[in-house]
Amino acid sequence: MDKKQRRKGGIIHRTMRQSIHHTIETGILLLVACMTWGQTFKASHLQRAYEKLHLATNTQLRNHLSIRTDDRGTIEHIGIPMFSTEMRTLLPSPVYDYLEYALLDHKYHINENALQQLKLRFQNGDWSDLEQVRPSNKCTINNVDDKWYVVTWSRSDKGNISVAIPIDYELLANSSRKEMEQIFISNLQKHHPGAISGNIPPMPELSDINTTLSLEFQLYGHHKKTIDVSLAQWLSYGLSTGSTPLYIYEGRNQNTDKAVLLMENKQEGYAHMISVNIPINNRRNGKVTCNGKAYLYIPISNIARLYEKAPHHQSTPKKYKN
Amino acid sequence: MKKIIVSIILLFVCSTGAMAQITLLKINDGISDVALKQRMEFTISNLLTEFGQATANNRPLQLHHIQMTEQSRASLERLWNSFHFDCDNAENEEHCLTDVNGYEIRNIPVTLHPTGNGYKGELEKELTISLTRDGMITGVHMALSNNVYQSIVNKGIDVTDTRRRLEILNFVEAFRSYYDEKDIASLRQVYSDDALIITGKVIMRRSYQNDQPTLKPEIVYSKKNKVQYLKSLESNFRHNRFIKVSFDSISVVRHPAKPNFYGVTLHQNWKSTNYEDDGYVFLLWEFKDDADEHPVVHVRTWQPDHIGTNTLAKKEIFNINDFFIP
């Protein structure tokens, strides 16, 4: 084998290794889902807490925690209760699940990596004060410039507790972008669109809700994955996560219209974008497949200027080390 | 069309005897019904002109001639009691967004003139105007800040460019996550083989003032190539169990002459088990002509955000003009 072949072999080997590695990771993540005595979890941080605290058997602790499952029995939240059911129902916010889990994590040292939680800023009080919070305490949540949530508990005897949480989708989900992408795709594929309510913008070029979207997802580590979903499935799943759909017509190119569909979630600070090519012919016979690309979790809360003008000059001269 | 709007508004302005500037809004895309588009442009231009006149004369709004719902009129008048505002530009071009109830025009830049002394927030804001599907105004809202969604969908630039900039944000975010995951393999794919990495470091240089020796902080820069940078990064990854990188204040610039090149400037906070710093990062990205190829980074610079006690001036931060693109 000459040098060139060996190099080529090395590349193939590395690519295969990456691919196998990715497949294994995907398998694991898709089942974040991983089973613990038959128990499934919405995300890996929940499984970590469940296992570390032995919640399958530790009923005493279990009774003191807030644990929520979906209709399939998958655990979608574990935390120390801090917010009333009424507040959760009347004023939905990603802050509740985040803070209740963060407090649990802090108290029981579930996650060894505490760097993420350093983004949280106490304005009044500290973690030990948070442990004193009860769901019955009066609480307000303010959105500051779509960048921060400021949560304040009023306590008549000991003064207020106030904590600022950046609107950062990874932080609020107690998860990583890598994991969130996998969970999104898995959930999207499993999602059965019910009757979609009227919260959909007019989409003249995509008026048939049953249109198939063949979407190439641009994923972590330059991976690409193509999935066919119906437009109804995409819209319905986005709406179920609290996102708002927005439609922008981009223009016509020979036999296709181009359009951009955004799913904006201001509460959690991200948008998903799909860019689709819509064939002009056969649009009315209901058998149209639109190819497109999908980009997940585009951050929207940390942007200063998306359309910054190019400066006229270079920056000031620099001194370089030799 | 612009001429028609100008003449119609001029008539109106002359009839009221006001002298303030006329403000125009042109919808550049997002709506195909030409008559509706013109109606919306006329209504919004009238409203923006009224903002300017009322601000110039420090008077309440006169909205009887504007096609808007009673609720939105009352809401706007309440807002006007706290703030007057006028448009920064005499001519505005915006996209029309289609939403659940009708249409939205976003990103109209205005300057606030608070009527009281209590307001301490930003004076530069952007308006969002909502309309029914018939073109009647249903709401005029002040965007919360310049860094939320309204920044995303345009500033009078075409949709394709907007889409590309959103793609860049997506790639920048993925790029950030590779550091969190200590993923050298993915970073190796992002940096071009000829990548240039420049890192600034604050040193104390001795100088003399009035014959007295003093220490003055200054930044000196070092250059690395891709191999050198990734090698030192690998070592950093090995010595830190956890790394958390956060980006904020992201700005995206398209190269004026090389449309496939974009400059991204951002503020970075780097937290790791053994170390933490804050600084400005500049990234020069190239989109390949082949849409299936991911974009690559040719340049990454890092500069501390402070020199001593002073924040780094904007003119000091690397920008897209600092690098020659063949």
Based on the fold, state whether residues B20 and B141 are members of the same structural domain: yes
Domain final residue, candidates B152, B173, B188: B152
Confidence at B122, pLDDT banded by 50, 70, 90: low
- B93 contacts B156 by C-beta, under 8 angstroms: yes
Domain final residue, candidates B105, B122, B152: B152
Based on the fold, state whether residues B304 and B199 are members of the same structural domain: yes
Q: What is the enclosing helix (H) or strand (E) of B50?
A: helix B34-56
Domain final residue, candidates B152, B167, B200: B152
Q: Which residues of chain B have a CB within 8 Å of the CB of A146?
A: 144-145, 147-149
Among A30-44, B1-15, B27-41, the minimum mean pLDDT is found in: B1-15
Based on the fold, state whether residues B166 and B314 are members of the same structural domain: yes
Cβ separation A271–B151 shorter than 8 A: no
Mean pLDDT (whole number) for B223-236 = 96
pLDDT at B21 over 80: no
pTM: 0.72
Cβ separation B149–A300 shorter than 8 A: yes
Confidence at B164, pLDDT banded by 50, 70, 90: confident
Cβ separation B174–A177 shorter than 8 A: yes
Residue that is written with structure tokens 């505002």 in the block: B85
Diameter of chain B by CA atoms? Answer: 76
Neighbours of B69 (CB within 10 A): 15
Based on the fold, state whether residues B51 and B94 are members of the same structural domain: yes
pLDDT at A8: 39
Based on the fold, state whether residues B146 and B163 are members of the same structural domain: no
Q: What is the enclosing helix (H) or strand (E) of A129?
A: helix A127-130
* Residue-number span of the structural domain to which B64 is assigned: 2-152
pLDDT at B252: 92
- Put simply, whether A145 touches B (Cβ < 8 Å) is yes
pLDDT at B10: 34
Cβ separation B219–A318 shorter than 8 A: yes
- Put simply, whether B315 touches A (Cβ < 8 Å) is yes
pLDDT at B48 over 70: yes
pLDDT at B7 over 60: no
Three-state helix/strand/coil letters over A149-218: EEEEEECCCCCCEEEEEECCHHHHCCCCHHHHHHHHHHHHHHCCCCCCCCCCCCCHHHCCCCCEEEEEEE
Based on the fold, state whether residues B9 and B89 are members of the same structural domain: yes
Q: How far is B252 from chain A (nearest CA, A)?
A: 5
**How far apart, in whole angstroms, are the C-alpha atoms of residue B168 and residue B164?**
6
- CA distance readout (Å), A33 to A40, A117, A162, A189, B46: 5, 24, 35, 15, 56
**How far apart, in whole angstroms, are the C-alpha atoms of residue A207 and residue A273?**
18
- Put simply, whether B275 touches A (Cβ < 8 Å) is no
Nearest to A105 by CA among A166, A162, A39, A52: A52
pLDDT at A262: 92
Nearest to B126 by CA among B112, B139, B107: B107
Three-state helix/strand/coil letters over A60-109: HHHHHCEEEECCCCCEEEEECCCCCHHHHHHCCCCHHHHHHHHHHHHHHC
Based on the fold, state whether residues B229 and B139 are members of the same structural domain: no
Based on the fold, state whether residues B307 and B256 are members of the same structural domain: yes
Confidence at B18, pLDDT banded by 50, 70, 90: very low
Q: How far is B307 from chain A (nearest CA, A)?
A: 14
Give the rounded percent of residues in chain B with a pLDDT score beyond 90: 45
Cβ separation A264–B149 shorter than 8 A: yes
For B146, which residue in chain A has the nearest alpha carbon? A304
pLDDT at B33 over 90: no
Q: How far is B183 from chain A (nearest CA, A)?
A: 8
Interface residue of B28, B150, B173 to substitute, partner A, most A CBs within 10 Å: B173
Cβ separation A178–B316 shorter than 8 A: no
Question: Which positions 239-268 of B are in contact with A (Cβ < 8 Å)?
Answer: 241-244, 246-256, 263, 265
Based on the fold, state whether residues B189 and B288 are members of the same structural domain: yes
pLDDT at B153 over 50: no
Q: In chain A, which stretches have pLDDT less than 70?
A: 1-37, 197-198, 282-286, 322
What pairs with residue B109 in β-bridges?
Answer: B126
- A161 contacts A133 by C-beta, under 8 angstroms: yes
Query: How many residues in total does chain A contain?
Result: 322
Query: ipTM, 2 decimals?
Result: 0.84
Structural domains in chain B (count): 2
pLDDT at A16: 53
Based on the fold, state whether residues B316 and B210 are members of the same structural domain: yes
Specify the CATH number for the domain of residue B241.
3.10.450.50
- B150 contacts B128 by C-beta, under 8 angstroms: yes
Cβ separation A221–B157 shorter than 8 A: no
Higher-pLDDT residue of B118, B304:
B304
- Put simply, whether B120 touches A (Cβ < 8 Å) is no
| Exposure string over A40-52, b if 16+ CB within 10 A, otherwise e | bbbbbbbbbbbbe
For B169, which residue in chain A has the nearest alpha carbon? A298
**How far apart, in whole angstroms, are the C-alpha atoms of residue B322 and residue B317?**
10
For A216, which residue in chain B has the nearest alpha carbon? B292
Q: What is the DSSP string of A130-142?
A: HTT--TTSEEEEE
**How far apart, in whole angstroms, are the C-alpha atoms of residue A265 and residue A296?**
11
Residue that is written with structure tokens 């799909």 in the block: A274
- Put simply, whether B181 touches A (Cβ < 8 Å) is yes
AA identity, residue B13: V
Q: How far is A287 from chain B (nearest CA, A)?
A: 25
Interface residue of A175, A205, A307 to substitute, partner B, most B CBs within 10 Å: A307
Based on the fold, state whether residues B213 and B107 are members of the same structural domain: no
Query: How many CA atoms lie less than 13 Å away from A126 in the CB half-sphere?
Result: 2
Q: What is the DSSP string of B256-299?
A: SS-TTEEEEEEEEEEEESS-EEEEEEEEEEE--SSTTSPPEEEE
Q: What is the DSSP string of A246-280?
A: EEEEEEEETTEEEEEEEEEETTTTEEEEEEEEEES
Based on the fold, state whether residues B24 and B78 are members of the same structural domain: yes
Q: How far is A192 from chain B (nearest CA, A)?
A: 22
What pairs with residue A259 in β-bridges?
Answer: A249, A276
Q: Which residues of chain B have a CB within 8 Å of the CB of A304?
A: 146-147, 248-251
pLDDT at B187: 97
Q: Which residues of chain A have a CB within 8 Å of the CB of B179?
A: none
Backbone angles phi, psi at B231, to 5 degrees: -65, -45
Q: Which residues of chain B have a CB within 8 Å of the CB of A309?
A: 253
Nearest to B229 by CA among B193, B254, B257, B205: B193
Beta strands at A212-219 and A223-230: parallel, antiparallel or unpaired: antiparallel
Q: Which residues of chain B have a CB within 8 Å of the CB of A113?
A: 241-242, 244
